[in-house]
Amino acid sequence: MNGILPLHKPKGLTSHDCVMRVRKLLHIKKVGHTGTLDPEVEGVLPICIGEATKIIPYVLHLKKVYIADVALGKATTTEDKEGDVIEQKEVSSPPTDEEIEKVLQKFKGDIIQIPPMYSAVKVKGKRLYEYARAGINVERPQRNVTIFQIERKRLNDYLINDKFRIKVTCSKGTYIRTLCVDIGKKLGYPAHMAYLKRIESDSFHIDDTYTFDELEKAVDENRLEDILLPVDRGLNHLDTMQVDEKTKAKILQGQKFPLPSQKFKTESFKVMHHNELLAIYKLHKNEEIKPERVFNIYKNVGE
């Protein structure tokens, strides 16, 4: 069983909970996710199964798209609605559409973030949330992230006194909670993130996801293949090298090859035989190519 399950992660479960539940449902140990979502966050969580777990390092860094609600007037310990309120200011005169748009554009591009205390970032071998729970304040490392797109997301007249919705396309490692707090500061108010949903994870979109109920039904009806995507679906961002049947057998043996005449835009690239994903290779010393991952998906390797 090899493939990618585009899961619609529900609220209330950790990403690890989702992995464990899939393992139990499918009776398979090789299961992993491609990017953590906090328990109270819902949305796209691609789950890699079997040989697909080998592609996880290649998709973790890809861009993500979120829908988030910025709530003005209150700052919390966790930077979301779950934390204790640590600062308040009445929103007696809500910002105008123009003011919001102007501030949002200031965050577009490369920005520096300081991760929240209630996060999994490690400092001196311990998670920040461990320090936070112990009441210990430590210096948090800055991180560089990229906001590719940020815009106001209108749902009818969604600006209700203290809250508005944004859509953010960003790089790996971006804390949307922190982004909401920083946006609030630019607007002159303490703020927190009131809602978050991941609607895209690279090429996986929320409209293409399946709930656990739908997964369970597919398992019961013995049609899991209807919802599992092929492994190479997670590697659309990599260049492709097509090989013939004879070369296919050598690829599956993990052999190195002289540098081909084909030019690659990505350092790593997938090797395919027609629609079969065989391996991920990379350029090596500008003289040859060598395998990084070899996939044991297709048994008829040829002679």
pTM given for the model? 0.88
Strands 257-258 and 288-294: antiparallel
Q: Are 195 and 87 in a shared domain? A: yes
Query: Is 303 a domain residue?
Result: no
Out of 183, 201, 219, a domain closes at 201
Q: Are 196 and 109 in a shared domain? A: yes
pLDDT tens by residue, 47-73: 999 999 999 999 988 899 999 999 999
Query: Is 251 a domain residue?
Result: yes
The catalytically annotated residue of 17, 38, 97, 182 is: 38
Query: Is 289 a domain residue?
Result: yes
- The CATH number that applies at residue 273 is 2.30.130.10
Query: Is 193 a domain residue?
Result: yes
Which domain does 193 fall in, by range?
A: 64-201
Is residue 38 part of the annotated active site? The answer reads yes
Q: Are 12 and 87 in a shared domain? A: no
pLDDT tens by residue, 174-213: 999 999 999 999 999 999 999 999 999 988 999 999 999 9
Query: Is 302 a domain residue?
Result: no
Query: Is 71 a domain residue?
Result: yes
- The CATH number that applies at residue 35 is 3.30.2350.10
- The confidence score (pLDDT) of residue 25 equals 94
Helix (H) or strand (E) holding 66: strand 64-72
Task: Report which of 175, 166, 176 is spatially closest to residue 105, judged by C-alpha positions.
Answer: 166
